[in-house]
Amino acid sequence: MSTRERVLQALIEAAERGVSGQEIAEALGVSRTAIAKHVAALEAEGYVIEAARGRGYRLVAGPIDATPAGVRPLINSRFWTSVLGGWETGSTNDDARRLAQEGASEGTVVVAASQSAGRGRLGRTWSSPEGGAYLSVILRPAVSVLQASSLPLALGVAVARAFAKLGVASRLKWPNDVLLAEGKVAGVLVEMAAEADLVDWLVAGIGMNVSRGAGNDEARAAYLSDVAAGLTPAVVSAAVLDEVAAVYDEWKSGGFGVLAGEYGEWHSLSGQQVVVRDAMGRVSASGRVVGVDADGRLLLDDGAGAIQRVAAGEVTLRQP
């Protein structure tokens, strides 16, 4: 931990009581002037710090954006060992991939307040202006590529759980879109590298629409701030990271099978007649959605007694 992080830690621990510059200086073995400089730098990062005579410093609020400074203090899970990133980047997935290739450990997170080249599934762009939350995590599960294919669905469950804890009732759309009413509020993009069919690293990127704003008003998108007040990108990112850590643990020990039932409860397509199309737009399957299996495949009842298992494709409701 850097000295600045330790100063922040001291302020967080002191909470409402506050702590004097002298006390922090003695605890860290640096001068009071150095502490004052670190406090000023934290304020420049967006922390609101009150300096009252006799009470010392008191941390009033953290930055609201999904920057490391904003997100790190709000994470409860101890799984995330390193939170990197900044105000703006091309794509947090690209940054995390680079770090993973360089050997970064599982539990590394990259966050950003905005992205200039955010990527979605199927080569789409992910519009990423300020006001949203963009994060990518590095995972290194000891599983095969096939076993890893259900992780994106598990992460959808994590996002839905986190949103529920924040007071937002969302639904999932197979494989891992997160919806509010008909609009998409969040998406998950998982990329990986493998050797001899065993996963080496896996980068899971999650993009979330938090508040509408300039350049942040996509027609078919939904925003958390439409249905819940007071949610900031930092709060949302930290809540999602906590649930991702919990779900990842469940998935590692029990496989997706232990989450499939819950996935079905969040699933907006349960019981619906749907059509699945491949990347060329050709219909590859159709039927009534009856669940997902332990590998995360969509289960369709074709109406003639057969269940089809769908591993990939774009799903839409069948028009009457």
Q: Which residues bind ligand BTN (CB under 6 A)?
A: 91-93, 115, 118-121, 124, 126, 134-136, 177, 187-189, 205-207
The span from the CA of 293 to the CA of 143, in Å, is 18
Rounded least distance, CB 48 to ligand BTN, Å: 27
Give whichever of 59 and 172 is closer to ligand BTN, judged by the CB atom.
172
Give whichever of 63 and 118 is closer to ligand BTN, judged by the CB atom.
118
Rounded least distance, CB 134 to ligand BTN, Å: 4
Give whichever of 63 and 187 is closer to ligand BTN, judged by the CB atom.
187
Rounded least distance, CB 70 to ligand BTN, Å: 15
Give whichever of 208 and 300 is closer to ligand BTN, judged by the CB atom.
208
Rounded least distance, CB 128 to ligand BTN, Å: 6
CB-based contacts of 23, cutoff 8 Å, min separation 6: 10, 56
CA 13 to chain centroid, in Å, comes to 26
Give whichever of 21 and 118 is closer to ligand BTN, judged by the CB atom.
118
Rounded least distance, CB 211 to ligand BTN, Å: 16
Bridge partners of 309? 299
Closest CB to ligand BTN: residue number: 187
Rounded least distance, CB 47 to ligand BTN, Å: 24
The span from the CA of 60 to the CA of 76, in Å, is 19
Give whichever of 118 and 233 is closer to ligand BTN, judged by the CB atom.
118
Give whichever of 92 and 170 is closer to ligand BTN, judged by the CB atom.
92
Rounded least distance, CB 122 to ligand BTN, Å: 7
| 22 within 8 A of 7, measured Cβ to Cβ | no
Rounded least distance, CB 6 to ligand BTN, Å: 29
The span from the CA of 210 to the CA of 213, in Å, is 10
Give whichever of 57 and 201 is closer to ligand BTN, judged by the CB atom.
201
Give whichever of 39 and 89 is closer to ligand BTN, judged by the CB atom.
89
Rounded least distance, CB 119 to ligand BTN, Å: 4
> How distant, in Å, are the alpha carbons of 71, 303, 308 from that of 289?
37, 11, 10
